[in-house]
Chain A
Amino acid sequence: MLEIKDLHVHYGGIHALRGISLNIEDGKIISLVGANGAGKSTTLKAIMSLTQKTCGSVIYDGKDISNEKTKNIVKSGVILTPEGRRVFPDLTVDENIALGAYTRKDKVEIAKDRNWVFELFPRLEERKWQAAGTLSGGEQQMLAVARSLMGRPKLLMMDEPSLGLAPLIVKNIFSIIKEINKAGVNVLLIEQNAKAALEISDYGYVMETGVITISGTGKELLGNDQVRKAYLGE
Chain B
Amino acid sequence: MKKKTKTICSIVAGLVIAAFIFYVGEEVSSSSMLRTVLQLGTIYALVAVSMNLLNGFTGLFSLGQAGFMAIGAYTYAVLTIPVDKKANVYYLYGIADPLANVELPLWLGLIAAGLLAALLAAIVGAPVLRLKSDYFAIATLGFSEIVRILVGSSPFNRITNGSLGLNNIPGNPSYYTPFIVAAICIAIIVLLLTSSYGRAFKAIREDEIAAEAMGIKLSTHKQMSFIISSFFTGISGALLAMYLGAITSTTFPIMLTYNILLIIVIGGMGSVTGSIIAAFLVTAAKEWWLRFLDQPMMIGDFQVPLLRTGFRMVVFSIILMLVVLFWRRGIMGQKEFSWDGLINFFKRIKNRLWGNSTKKGGALNG
Bound pair (A, B):
yes
Listed stretches B142-150, B181-189, B207-215; interface member: B207-215
**Bound CA–CA A147/B213 (angstroms):** 11
Which chain A residues border B217 with CB–CB below 8 Å?
A: 69-71
From 182 to 213 in chain A, residues with beta carbon under 8 angstroms from any chain B beta carbon are none
Q: Interface with A: B195-203, B238-246, B304-312, which one?
A: B195-203
Contact A50-B212, Cβ < 8 Å, known A88-B203, A90-B334:
yes
Q: Is the CB of B215 within 8 A of A103?
A: yes
CB atoms of A88 and B196 under 8 A apart:
no
Q: Which of A19-77 contact B (CB under 8 A)?
A: 48, 50, 69-71, 73-75
A94 CB, min distance to chain B CBs, angstroms = 10
B199 interface neighbour in A69, A73, A89, A99, Cβ under 8 Å: A99
What 0/1 pattern do residues 75 to 95 of A give for CB contact below 8 A with B?
100011110001111110001
Q: Does A218 contact B (CB under 8 A)?
A: no
Selected from B210, B270, B334, the residue in CB contact (under 8 A) with A86 is B210
Report the count of interface residues on B (CB-CB < 8 A): 19
A151 and B214 within 8 A (CB): yes
B215 touches A88 (CB 8 A): no
Q: Which of B209, B216, B334 touches A102 (beta carbons < 8 Å)?
A: B216
For residue A203, give the distance in angstroms from its CB to the closest CB of chain B. Answer: 24
Least CB distance, B330 to chain A, in whole angstroms: 14
Q: Is B213 a contact partner of A48 (Cβ separation < 8 A)?
A: yes
Assuming A90-B334, A95-B199, is B214 touching A100 (CB within 8 A)? yes
Instruction: List, in ascending order, chain A residues with CB within 8 A of B270's CB.
Output: 90
Q: Write out the residue numbers on chain B whose beta carbons fall within 8 Å of the beta carbon of A169.
A: none
A residues within 8 A CB of B203?
88, 91, 99, 102
B202 to A151, Cβ gap below 8 A? Answer: no
How far is A50 from B199 in the complex, measured between Cα atoms in Å? Answer: 21
Q: Which of B202, B210, B211 contacts A95 (CB 8 A)?
A: B202
Query: What is the 8 Å Cβ interface bit string for chain B, positions 150-187, against chain A (1 contact, 0 not)?
Result: 00000000000000000000000000000000000000
A50→B214 CA distance, assembly (Å): 11
Q: Is B336 an interface residue (CB 8 A)?
A: no
- Report chain B residues within 8 Å CB of A98: 196, 199
- Min Cβ gap B219→A in Å is 11
Q: When the two chains form the complex, which single residue of B196, B199, B207, B215 contacts A74, counting CB atoms closer than 8 Å?
A: B215
Bound: A86/B212 CA distance, A: 11
**Interchain nearest-CB distance for B366 vs A (Å):** 15
- Max chain B CB contacts within 10 Å: which of A74, A100, A102, A147? A102
Are the C-beta atoms of A86 and B209 separated by less than 8 Å? Answer: yes
B134 at the A interface (CB under 8 A): no
Q: Answer whether residue B206 sits at the interface, using C-beta atoms and an 8 A cutoff.
A: yes
- How many angstroms from the CA of A90 to the CA of B269 in the assembled complex? 12
Q: Which residues from B are CB-within-8-Å of A87? A: 207, 210
CB <8 Å contact, A74 and B214: yes
Tell me which of B202, B206, B215, B334 contacts A70 (CB under 8 A).
B215
The answer to whether A102 and B214 have CB atoms under 8 Å apart is: yes
| Residues in B whose Cβ lies below 8 Å from that of A79 | 213
Q: Verify A88–B213 contact, CB threshold 8 A.
A: no
> Is the CB–CB distance between B215 and A151 below 8 Å?
yes
Whether A99 contacts B200 in the complex (CB less than 8 A), given A75-B215, A151-B214, comes out as: yes
Q: Is the CB of B206 within 8 A of A82?
A: no
B206 touches A90 (CB 8 A): yes
Q: How far is the CB of A49 from chain B (nearest CB, A)?
A: 10
Contacts of A90 in B (CB 8 A): 202, 205-206, 270, 334
A71 near B215: Cβ-Cβ < 8 Å: yes
Docked CA distance A69–B213 (Å) = 11
Interface string of B280-306 (1 = CB under 8 A from A): 000000000000000000000000000
Query: In the complex, which residue of chain B has the Cβ closest to the Cβ of A89?
Result: B206
Q: Please report the C-alpha to C-alpha distance between residue A150 and residue B207 in the assembled complex, in whole angstroms.
A: 18
27 intermolecular pairs with C-beta atoms under 8 Å apart: A50-B212, A50-B213, A69-B217, A70-B213, A71-B215, A73-B215, A79-B213, A82-B210, A86-B209, A86-B210, A86-B213, A87-B210, A88-B202, A88-B211, A89-B206, A89-B207, A90-B202, A91-B203, A95-B202, A98-B199, A99-B199, A99-B200, A100-B214, A102-B199, A102-B215, A103-B214, A147-B214
Other than A102-B200, A151-B215, give 12 A-B pairs with Cβ distance below 8 A: A70-B215, A74-B215, A82-B209, A88-B211, A90-B206, A90-B270, A91-B203, A99-B199, A100-B214, A102-B214, A102-B216, A103-B215
Interface pairs A-B: 6 shortest CB-CB: A74-B215, A86-B210, A88-B206, A103-B215, A71-B215, A80-B213
